[in-house]
């Protein structure tokens, strides 16, 4: 839902004479940068409103406003929140039911307990006229929201016990799930339309009319309007849990990059620094950082950025000092030489050139690419084996080749000293300082081993 522009279904002609109604929906949501999913709204105008909001990490809240008419100045008097967690594939069932006659309502989230709330009916109740259902993306959400089986009923607490447990994932015909005669409308997850089945008619299944979403010329359309590229921030998620792959940006859980279903990756220049805390360090003096990056315009990479595995190795990506169309990758094989505070954290541009020019930090390697690299994926690696005093780095825009290993100069100590139980951190630092170009990052791997230079990578 968050991938598309707002839209409205406007022909909801059925009147609810009982003054009892229910909204229910299955959703799952995922935020790839904690705390940056702001809000998405379902507005059943003249009846109720549901707001889905991000809180922290994959914690969300749903707010039900049980009496909602957009022109009513008192429309937010009644409201009730429920909290839920959504991560990877679990679907969350939400229901909000309203009984104006008895002045009660409740808001329910799957498997949680809930209580009826008193309804303040000093507002205008349901106004006459045609209702509408709106889908509103209230801000640039750094995350996604999917939904299935949104249904609207003209009843209060009338749904079957364990109604939410039905396994919608294995049925091909949506009507097979719908057993309530009180159903007014439903919308499936494909957003191809909604039906107006008269559930009091025994032959309704054979006479239903599907009202598809229409375009401006009145032609039936199955497609929603995607957000612009500038508005879309990407589907990738940060995987903090896979052992030895801390901070991997991964599309596997949701969709394939550049597929017809979802395109684009996280634009990291539009988010703040990412710090992954409590990362176990390598204890054997071997470690590797590798990732893919794509930059829209190298000459506008004014800030550059760092991938820092504190106390072990670091990588800097920065445009060349003399040739603004060339890019440099610096493999700092001994990050612990930067001491505390880390010499390169939050330092960019001329400060990094000064460190390079002074040659004060031992055992680093700078590699440069200068030919047709805008909007092209670059593979980056910095691999260190301090036990055998070797390291190598890669900056390639095609199939990588076997690299020549560098001999580490004799420094004491040669490798950082960590003990069992100690942790360090990984920092993606400074990307938001490059406001004039777009930076993508995918598949950031942090290995507590030395990846051999013969382990080459081919680009998809």
- Which residues contact residue 206 at a Cβ distance below 8 angstroms, ignoring those fewer than 6 apart? none
Report the pLDDT value the prediction gives residue 400, as an integer from 0 to 100. 64
Residues of the chain with CATH 2.60.120.200: 7-211, 237-447
Q: Which two tokens mark 312?
A: 């072990």
Integer angstrom CA distances of residue 213 from 7, 23, 58, 152, 268:
9, 20, 32, 17, 34
Average pLDDT over residues 216-244: 54
123-165 per-position pLDDT tens digit: 556 666 678 888 888 776 766 777 777 888 888 877 654 454 4
Rounded Cα distance, 361 and 363, in Å: 7
Q: What end-to-end distance do the CA atoms of the chain give, in Å?
A: 28
Q: For residues 158 and 223, which has the higher predicted lDDT (pLDDT)?
A: 158
DSSP, residue by residue, 388-411: TTEEEEEEESSS--PPPPEEPP--
Q: For residues 232 and 279, which has the higher predicted lDDT (pLDDT)?
A: 279
pLDDT band at residue 229, thresholds of 50, 70 and 90?
low
Q: Which CATH architecture has domain 7-211?
A: Sandwich (2.60)
Integer angstrom CA distances of residue 180 from 142, 183, 186, 198, 323:
37, 6, 12, 11, 69
The enclosing H or E element of 355 equals: helix 350-358
- Of 28-32, 189-193, 268-272, 378-382, minimum mean pLDDT range: 189-193
pLDDT band at residue 193, thresholds of 50, 70 and 90?
very low
Cβ atoms of residues 145 and 138 within 8 Å:
no
Does residue 359 register a pLDDT over 50? Answer: yes
Percent of the chain whose pLDDT exceeds 90: 25
- Which residues contact residue 310 at a Cβ distance below 8 angstroms, ignoring those fewer than 6 apart? 335, 342, 424, 425, 426, 427
Q: What is the CA radius of gyration of the chain?
A: 27
| Full strand arrangement of the beta sheet holding 378-385 | 406-407, 390-396, 378-385, 286-295, 439-447
Average pLDDT over residues 232-240: 54
In DSSP terms, 187 is beta-bridged to 150, 194
- Which residues contact residue 427 at a Cβ distance below 8 angstroms, ignoring those fewer than 6 apart? 273, 274, 275, 276, 306, 307, 308, 310, 345
Q: For residues 344 and 15, which has the higher predicted lDDT (pLDDT)?
A: 344
The topology under which CATH files domain 237-447 is Jelly Rolls (2.60.120)
Report the pLDDT value the prediction gives residue 84, as an integer from 0 to 100. 81
Please list, residue by residue across 93-103, b when 16 or more beta carbons sit within 10 angstroms of its beta carbon and e when fewer do: bbbbbbbbeee
- Of 250-254, 278-282, 380-384, 454-458, minimum mean pLDDT range: 250-254
Over the chain, what is the mean pLDDT? Answer: 76
Report the pLDDT value the prediction gives residue 1, as an integer from 0 to 100. 63
Report the pLDDT value the prediction gives residue 450, as an integer from 0 to 100. 95
Does residue 21 register a pLDDT over 80? Answer: yes
Does residue 191 register a pLDDT over 80? Answer: no
| Full strand arrangement of the beta sheet holding 364-369 | 274-279, 424-429, 305-309, 314-319, 327-332, 364-369
48-100 per-position pLDDT tens digit: 999 998 877 668 889 999 988 887 777 788 899 988 876 544 577 889 999 98
The enclosing H or E element of 379 equals: strand 378-385
442-455 per-position pLDDT tens digit: 778 889 999 999 88
- Which residues contact residue 161 at a Cβ distance below 8 angstroms, ignoring those fewer than 6 apart? none
417-443 per-position pLDDT tens digit: 888 889 999 899 998 898 889 888 877
pTM here is 0.62
DSSP, residue by residue, 270-337: GS--EEEEEEPPPSSSEEEEEEEEEES-GGG--S-EEEEETTS-EEEEEE-SS-TT-EEEEEES-GGG
263-274 per-position pLDDT tens digit: 456 677 877 788
Q: Is the dihedral of CA 279, 285, 291, 296 positive or negative?
A: positive
Rounded Cα distance, 78 and 99, in Å: 13
The set of long-range contacts for 175-180, using a CB threshold of 8 Å and a minimum separation of 24, is 175/205, 177/149, 178/151, 180/153, 180/155
Highest mean pLDDT among 99-108, 177-186, 310-319: 310-319
Q: For residues 399 and 434, which has the higher predicted lDDT (pLDDT)?
A: 434
Report the pLDDT value the prediction gives residue 361, as an integer from 0 to 100. 86
């Amino acid at each position: 839902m968050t991938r598309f522009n707002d839209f409205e279904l406007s022909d909801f002609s059925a009147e609810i004479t009982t003054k009892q109604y229910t909204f229910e929906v299955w959703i799952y949501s995922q935020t790839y940068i904690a705390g940056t999913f702001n809000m998405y709204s379902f507005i059943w105008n003249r009846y109720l409103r549901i707001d889905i909001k991000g809180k922290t990490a994959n914690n969300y809240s749903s707010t039900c406003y049980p009496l909602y008419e957009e022109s009513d100045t008192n429309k937010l008097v009644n409201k009730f929140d429920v909290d839920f967690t959504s991560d990877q594939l679990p679907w969350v069932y939400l229901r909000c039911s309203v009984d104006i006659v008895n002045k009660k309502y409740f808001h329910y989230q799957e498997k949680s307990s809930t209580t009826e709330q008193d309804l303040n009916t000093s507002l205008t109740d349901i106004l006459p006229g045609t209702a509408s259902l709106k889908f509103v993306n209230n801000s640039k959400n750094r995350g996604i929201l999917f939904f299935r089986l949104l249904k609207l009923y003209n009843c209060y607490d009338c749904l079957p016990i364990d109604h939410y447990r039905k396994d919608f994932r294995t049925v091909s015909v949506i009507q097979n799930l719908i057993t309530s005669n009180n159903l007014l409308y439903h919308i499936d997850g494909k957003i191809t339309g909604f039906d107006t089945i008269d559930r009091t008619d025994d032959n309704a299944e054979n006479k239903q009319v599907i009202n598809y979403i229409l375009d401006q010329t009145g032609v039936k359309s199955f497609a929603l309007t995607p957000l612009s590229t500038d508005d879309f921030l990407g589907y990738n998620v940060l995987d903090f849990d896979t052992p030895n792959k801390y901070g991997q940006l991964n599309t596997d859980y949701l969709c394939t990059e550049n597929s017809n279903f979802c395109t684009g990756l996280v634009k990291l220049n539009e988010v703040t620094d990412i710090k992954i805390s409590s990362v176990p360090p390598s204890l054997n003096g071997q470690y590797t950082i590798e990732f893919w990056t794509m930059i829209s315009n190298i000459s506008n990479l004014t800030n550059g950025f760092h991938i820092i595995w504190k106390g072990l190795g670091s990588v800097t990506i920065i445009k060349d000092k003399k040739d603004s169309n060339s890019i440099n990758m610096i493999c700092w094989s001994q990050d612990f030489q930067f001491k505390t505070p880390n010499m390169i954290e939050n330092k960019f541009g001329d400060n990094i050139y000064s460190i390079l020019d002074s040659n004060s930090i031992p055992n680093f390697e700078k590699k440069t690419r200068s030919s047709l690299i805008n909007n092209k994926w670059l593979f980056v690696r910095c691999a260190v084996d301090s036990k055998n005093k070797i390291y190598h780095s890669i900056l390639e825009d095609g199939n990588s080749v076997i690299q020549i290993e560098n001999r580490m100069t004799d420094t004491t100590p040669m490798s950082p000293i960590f003990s069992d139980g100690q942790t360090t951190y990984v920092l993606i630092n400074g990307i938001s300082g490059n406001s004039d170009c777009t930076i993508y990052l995918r598949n950031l791997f942090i290995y507590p081993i030395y990846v051999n230079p013969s382990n080459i990578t081919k680009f998809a």
